[in-house]
Amino acid sequence: MVKQIYNDYDNIGATLEANGTYTFDAKALGNPLGSTLNFGDQNVEALAKQLLEKYKGRNLTARRLFDEHHVNNKWCATHYAQTLRELVNRGQLRANFTDNVTHRVSVTITEQCQLEFI
């Protein structure tokens, strides 16, 4: 939950330092260049690499993956959703919903989203 809150407010001066602690610099408000770690493309790539290495060939729900993997790292559910959607776009992951609902996105962090790592 704390990771998600910091992610939601990351653009207002809260930054994630290299050692995994968050800091706040009021002078960096609204300055995206003031962030020492931007949760952008590089982090999607880093998380994607970790997930592909750990889960290659496995089938599990998106919720189970998140619950297993997020405990000892800096990413929140939003980062996992973004990364998993990117892996679907690249063809490295298949996602299937089991709730018979038409979804607007390819992956949600739920028990109804089944993942198959290719």
Predicted TM-score (pTM) above 0.75: no
- Comparing 25 with 75, the larger pLDDT belongs to 75
Q: Identify the pLDDT of residue 56.
A: 96
Measured CA to CA, the distance from residue 37 to residue 8 in angstroms comes to 14
Mean pLDDT of 80-104: 97
What residues contact 90, with CB distance under 8 A and at least 6 apart?
none
Alpha carbon separation from 107 to 38, 71, 111, 115 (Å, rounded) = 22, 20, 11, 9
pLDDT reading at 72 higher than 90: no
Give the pLDDT confidence of 2-46 residue by residue, as tens digits.
Answer: 555 555 555 445 555 655 555 655 555 444 444 434 446 788 899
Give the domains, in start order, of the chain with CATH numbers. 1-38 (no CATH), 39-118 (1.10.10.10)
pLDDT reading at 66 higher than 70: yes
Measured CA to CA, the distance from residue 20 to residue 103 in angstroms comes to 34
Measured CA to CA, the distance from residue 72 to residue 7 in angstroms comes to 16
